[in-house]
């Protein structure tokens, strides 16, 4: 009597199938990763578009874009950079709306000592503008707060220069877990750097003032990555004037000569520049995302 015929895969057949699956994964995984990366970058550009519309509305109301200067000397000014001023202009110093009397000070006061952002002052609250951005479209976080709730862990070393209770708008690359005061866990991205153009200037790297000043967000760039404080290599950083100007120069212009820095001319010379640190969370590296084609 014939034995029942055995069915199933042999070892060689199983190994062959697994090898084919492994090859397919190796082929498809980079493509999937690339698509996912493109989707997140598109989301960041959409965020920039929303911020751009909000900045246009702000300019229509007040005649110009918000300031970005980060090195004006005087109490209440030295610790308030472009990223912080962008957030105040579009959401308010406390995220409850912008006050038209704002002098863009980190303490929320005017130079005369008036606290215009007191939520308990009904008169001042009534004068505030509605937020130019909906919080559903953008994330804003305090630079520092209680342990586990801080955007930066190393902000204490700069406490004399930066107000940890101020807010910044963050990009879509959620790289750090933060526990909110209500106990909810969220993922935060890196601050969006904001630079307003000096339309009276003629270019970059000239004796006269630059159209864009790298110092406007220098204090945040100095803090490094929000996850670990790591900073990029010197030739990649935005801290240096020349490196920053190289990054924002429009190299497609026929009059721009890389060998002659006096010819360098930036993208968007009449408005503003936005910079996201990108997926690696480091400013000045190749994966940075901007509101211009770089």
Task: Read off the pLDDT of residues 38-56 as tens digits, 9 standing for 90 and up.
Answer: 677 889 999 999 999 999 9
Instruction: Say whether pLDDT at 76 is over 50.
Output: no
In this predicted structure, what is the pLDDT of residue 155?
A: 72
Model's pTM, two decimal places?
0.86
Each as own residue / partner, the long-range contacts of residues 115-121 (CB below 8 Å, 24 or more positions apart, any chain) are: 117/92, 117/93, 119/94
Phi-psi region of 8 (alpha: psi -120 to 50; beta: other; left: phi over 0): left
Average pLDDT on 59-69 reads 96
pLDDT value at residue 41: 80
> CA 89 → CA 35, 64, 104, 237, 246, distances in Å?
34, 11, 8, 27, 28
Statement: residue 142 has pLDDT above 50: yes
Cβ neighbours, 10 Å, residue 271: 17
- For 229-242, the three-class secondary structure string (H helix, E strand, C coil) is CCCCCCCCCCCCHH
CA atoms of 224 and 282, how far apart (whole Å): 7
Which pLDDT tens digit goes with each residue over 147-193?
Answer: 667 788 877 666 666 788 889 999 999 999 988 777 788 899 999 99
What is the chain's mean pLDDT, rounded? 87
The pLDDT-based confidence of 73 (bands split at 50, 70, 90) is low
pLDDT score for 36: 60
Residues 216, 195 contacting (CB under 8 angstroms)? yes
Please say whether the beta carbons of 82 and 217 come within 8 A.
yes
Whether 77 shows a pLDDT value over 60: the answer reads: no
| pLDDT value at residue 146 | 63
What is the pLDDT at residue 79?
74
Question: Can you tell me the distance from the alpha carbon of 173 to that of 112, in angstroms, rounded to the nearest whole number?
Answer: 39
Per DSSP, the residues of 255-276 read T-BTTBGGG--BSSTTSEEEEE
Q: How far apart are CA 138 and CA 25, in angstroms?
A: 35
pLDDT grade for 225, boundaries at 50, 70 and 90: very high
Residue 246: closest CA among 210, 202, 216: 210
Residue 262 has pLDDT above 80, yes or no: yes
When mean pLDDT is compared over 28-42, 66-80, 187-201, the highest value belongs to: 187-201
Exposed e or buried b per residue across 108-121, where buried means at least 16 C-beta atoms within 10 angstroms of its C-beta: bbeeeeeebbeeee
Mean pLDDT of 78-98: 92
- In the chain, what are the domain boundaries? 66-290
HSE-up (13 A, CA, CB side) for residue 155: 21
pLDDT of 28 over the 60 cut: yes
pLDDT of residue 287: 94
Six-digit token pair at 156? 């204490």
- Name the percent of the chain lying above pLDDT 90: 59
Q: What is the mean pLDDT of residues 78-105?
A: 93
Q: How many Cα atoms are found within 13 Å in the side-chain-facing hemisphere of 18? A: 7
């Amino acid at each position: 009597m014939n034995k029942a015929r055995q069915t199933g895969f042999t070892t060689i057949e199983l190994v062959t199938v697994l090898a084919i699956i492994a090859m397919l994964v190796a082929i498809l995984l980079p493509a999937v990763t690339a698509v996912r990366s493109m989707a997140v970058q598109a989301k960041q550009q959409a965020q920039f578009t929303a911020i751009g519309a909000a900045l246009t509305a702000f300019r229509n109301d007040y005649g110009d874009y918000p300031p970005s200067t980060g090195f004006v000397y005087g109490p209440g000014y030295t610790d308030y950079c472009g990223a912080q001023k962008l957030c105040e202009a579009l959401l308010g110093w406390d995220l409850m709306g912008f006050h038209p009397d704002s002098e863009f000070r980190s303490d929320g006061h005017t130079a005369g000592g008036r606290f215009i952002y007191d939520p308990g002052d009904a008169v001042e609250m009534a004068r505030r503008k509605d937020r130019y951005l909906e919080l559903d479209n953008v994330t804003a976080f305090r630079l520092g707060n209680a342990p586990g709730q801080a955007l930066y862990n190393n902000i204490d070393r700069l406490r004399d220069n930066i107000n940890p209770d101020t807010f910044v708008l963050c990009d879509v690359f959620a790289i750090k877990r933060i526990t909110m005061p209500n106990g909810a866990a969220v993922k935060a991205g890196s601050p969006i750097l904001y630079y307003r153009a000096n339309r009276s200037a003629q270019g970059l790297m000239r004796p006269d003032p630059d159209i864009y000043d790298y110092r406007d967000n220098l204090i945040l760039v100095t803090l490094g990555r929000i996850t670990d404080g790591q900073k990029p290599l010197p030739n990649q950083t935005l801290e240096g004037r020349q490196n920053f100007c190289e990054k924002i120069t429009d190299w497609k212009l026929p009059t721009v000569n890389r060998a002659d820095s006096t010819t360098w001319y930036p993208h968007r010379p009449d408005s503003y520049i936005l910079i996201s640190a990108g997926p690696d969370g480091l400013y000045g590296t190749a994966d940075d995302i901007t509101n211009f084609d770089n």
